[in-house]
Structure 1
């Protein structure tokens, strides 16, 4: 994001904000209200938790500090990719073989939740199917065959297709990659329009949404009271869905998630012919590096190019100047193209890269979801469903799988977390060069 953009009460100046459907203004919370469940956070996690609970008959109030979709939900790369978490096998000692398999299946279900949400509520978000993993090295391409077989063994019903190195120009107009894996069950969309559509769906189900209503303090207990500057909400259950923007609202949760910067540029409109020379099948794509490049075409034929996750806690002074050389390494033919938009924002990362979905140990009526490690578009929707199931007492075993996984607190407090993790990520980058 531009420096200090997080202080704004409107959407950051992104391509998504400039091309979104009309953005309604929800009221600011004033006075004292009561409900069954209070949700804090107006991104995908909060919106989908509210939808799931309202569908189950709960009265829900959602509080958003700025605008619905203001954070990562309205600024992300728009890539809707199967899976949840990284390296799920590492959790086998905690959740067992069957638990790992269930998490893998839920990673597939997460994409279907988005599909169903868009179809049920007729959300105009340019949902387009087709995604390709890009191999930077031959060894990564060899891994794709195993990944495809593992997905088939899970019963994955969508088309999976390996792309040999010599066939890569059918997917991408670049000589940079050593093969690919096409997945027609993943795709891409306009993320802010999805968030706005889900907010509209939530209100139709009876959810009360309040914007510009930052939470100032929380009184915990059998009944939770959530305070803002001009009002309060008293509820039986509280759900915290603030992710990278939790700040100091709850220190126990804040210590387990590291905010990291991620950045995107959008070119000028290229025209359909030139755009299809870059991505002939209009797929979202992503490479395999620790600091990933991910990119896709917009509905009006721009290239949206993102990546370069920053753990330093400081944004580049000029995002366009920082990101454009990365784009030109992939597409040198775009040297003459103007960059129309540049923006970024914070994603939440946990130490083990598994989404953190659970409840507070000493406050059993306080639930949370956070730390999606840059894969939040689908994982947030899964989190909303699991929270809905747990709070309503339905299929809480699925929620418990995530809640059982321990998550460490980053050392060093909030001022040293980012530099320490930045050193760790530098080590991973050096390994990629060997």
Structure 2
């Protein structure tokens, strides 16, 4: 099924690509640290290392901020990814540290926005883990209690008290964080990196990263970089490099869609008075948020597991149609509002659904801060890792996600059949009013 009038974009729907990109790497370079990957984690690492006086080379296969960094929902959230009850059960000793890491990441990113002085339309509205059924309401109440006990600034409340639209019965208010334009934010970080003194090479795909007696060699089609150390900030593309830990993460395609402009009086009639971003309590969440363009952007609902090469792609029209069904179910008064654009991006899901960082082998470090919560966590994680490489002791927040051994076990929950089953269970629960 294809929805008429929708522009299916292979780029971000938030911002146009840069008019000029940096030239690809050609020849041989030496540096203190080479950063592979120009997403938020890689750019933040390069920025901090340059601030601390390191000679940095950053290589990116597209342009910095091309991937999930500029394509996500733009919800700056302070909660760990995954179900709090499950996480607290599986990681009872680490859970409080993971909650602290997630909230600290929001504070760090808010400060970074101020330092960059970039107009990314940030609104500190908080976000709500919302319920659309009585079953989800019970789940939200339970998870709010678990998060509070772990030190989170979270509160369960009725939907009207939270300023939610009528379709949402209540949920967990995460007071920290808010909503922003992630394309403009990524562009602002990119501009800062280009000003930092780091040598940035875009349109440069990395073929291999090899440790040597003298350091590390990063090989690209046009040459190589000889570095003392390397940071792998390759997110969903990590499996494309043999040096990355096996089973570090699986690539998942996430789709987004956006309506055309909606009249202010119709938006006001929805009862969405808080402007908080919304994520549902489904197995595979649905996200909804208001934008500075007077539209509603929404996404997820169905996840697609990547296979083969992860190139640029347009969203699947059938997935966008399914997203539209969910949107109109939640906002029936807007059934006459057409969708205007759709896009998507690759994110990384680690086996634990948690951010991770560590040393893959001597002098080669990795960091993944995504799992659907990377807007705040990725730049914070990249910065903490840069501080570690600069000689600082292991920060307690970095320690919460640090892996002493680069060993990962594939998750049985991150497979195509399980993801399809999760979607099917959610739809059955919607029809029967069970919740998930």
TM (norm. structure 2) is: 0.84
Separation in structure 2 between the aligned mates of residue 248 and residue 371 of structure 1, nearest angstrom? 18
Aligned partners of 1:349 and 1:373 also within 8 Å: yes
Q: Cα deviation per residue 1:144-189 (whole Å; 9 max; x = unaligned)?
A: 5565566666666x6x554325x26x62333x32212333322011
Aligned partners of 1:320 and 1:339 also within 8 Å: no
Separation in structure 1 between the aligned mates of residue 239 and residue 151 of structure 2, nearest angstrom? 40
The reply on whether 1:223 has 2:215 as its aligned counterpart is yes
Question: Aligned pair in 2 of structure 1 residues 112, 24: CA closer, same or farther (>3 Å)?
Answer: farther
Aligned partners of 2:135 and 2:435 also within 8 Å: no
Separation in structure 1 between the aligned mates of residue 404 and residue 284 of structure 2, nearest angstrom? 25
Where 1:15 maps in the other structure, the secondary structure is: coil
Question: Aligned pair in 2 of structure 1 residues 23, 192: CA closer, same or farther (>3 Å)?
Answer: farther
Of the candidates 236, 242, 247, which is equivalent to residue 250 of structure 1? Answer: 242
- Give the aligned partner of residue 365 of structure 2: 367
Moved more, 47-56 or 245-254: 245-254
Total equivalences in the alignment = 409
Aligned partners of 1:347 and 1:371 also within 8 Å: no
The aligned runs of 1:155-234 (5 Å cut-off) are 162-165=156-159, 167=160, 171-174=163-166, 176-221=167-212, 222-234=214-226
Q: Cα deviation per residue 1:9-66 (whole Å; 9 max; x = unaligned)?
A: xx83442134x7x554222211111111111111111011112212222111111101
Where 2:371 maps in the other structure, the secondary structure is: coil
- Give the aligned partner of residue 291 of structure 2: 298
| Structure 1 gap ranges (5+) | 3-10
Where 1:289 maps in the other structure, the secondary structure is: coil
Separation in structure 2 between the aligned mates of residue 285 and residue 41 of structure 1, nearest angstrom? 30
Separation in structure 1 between the aligned mates of residue 316 and residue 393 of structure 2, nearest angstrom? 44
Question: Aligned pair in 2 of structure 1 residues 90, 408: CA closer, same or farther (>3 Å)?
Answer: farther
Q: Cα deviation per residue 1:344-401 (whole Å; 9 max; x = unaligned)?
A: 12111112111121111xx221011126211111110221122122211213153344
Separation in structure 1 between the aligned mates of residue 388 and residue 130 of structure 2, nearest angstrom? 37
| Structure 2 gap ranges (5+) | 3-8, 308-314
Aligned partners of 2:133 and 2:435 also within 8 Å: no
Question: Aligned pair in 2 of structure 1 residues 242, 254: CA closer, same or farther (>3 Å)?
Answer: farther
Separation in structure 1 between the aligned mates of residue 414 and residue 177 of structure 2, nearest angstrom? 33
- Give the aligned partner of residue 334 of structure 1: 334
Separation in structure 1 between the aligned mates of residue 175 and residue 423 of structure 2, nearest angstrom? 33
TM (norm. structure 1) is: 0.84
The aligned runs of 1:67-216 (5 Å cut-off) are 67-86=63-82, 87=84, 88-90=87-89, 92=91, 97=93, 99-130=94-125, 131-138=127-134, 140-142=136-138, 144=140, 162-165=156-159, 167=160, 171-174=163-166, 176-216=167-207
Aligned partners of 2:41 and 2:369 also within 8 Å: no
Moved more, 252-261 or 190-199: 252-261
Where 1:220 maps in the other structure, the secondary structure is: strand
Q: Cα deviation per residue 1:74-115 (whole Å; 9 max; x = unaligned)?
A: 10011100023434434547xxx3x44333212111001110
Question: Aligned pair in 2 of structure 1 residues 23, 154: CA closer, same or farther (>3 Å)?
Answer: farther
- Give the aligned partner of residue 343 of structure 1: 343
- Give the aligned partner of residue 389 of structure 1: 387
Q: Cα deviation per residue 1:101-145 (whole Å; 9 max; x = unaligned)?
A: 333212111001110111011011111111222023435435555
Separation in structure 2 between the aligned mates of residue 388 and residue 371 of structure 1, nearest angstrom? 14
RMSD: 3.0
- Give the aligned partner of residue 7 of structure 1: none
- Give the aligned partner of residue 5 of structure 1: none
- Please state how far the C-alpha of 1:335 moved relative to its aligned partner: 1.3
- Please state how far the C-alpha of 1:327 moved relative to its aligned partner: 0.7
Separation in structure 1 between the aligned mates of residue 283 and residue 269 of structure 2, nearest angstrom? 27
- Comparing both structures, which one devotes a greater share of its residues to helix? 1
Where 2:245 maps in the other structure, the secondary structure is: helix
- Give the aligned partner of residue 5 of structure 2: none
- Give the aligned partner of residue 416 of structure 2: 419
- Give the aligned partner of residue 408 of structure 2: 408
Aligned partners of 2:76 and 2:376 also within 8 Å: yes
Separation in structure 1 between the aligned mates of residue 49 and residue 294 of structure 2, nearest angstrom? 38
- Please state how far the C-alpha of 1:420 moved relative to its aligned partner: 5.4
Where 2:21 maps in the other structure, the secondary structure is: coil
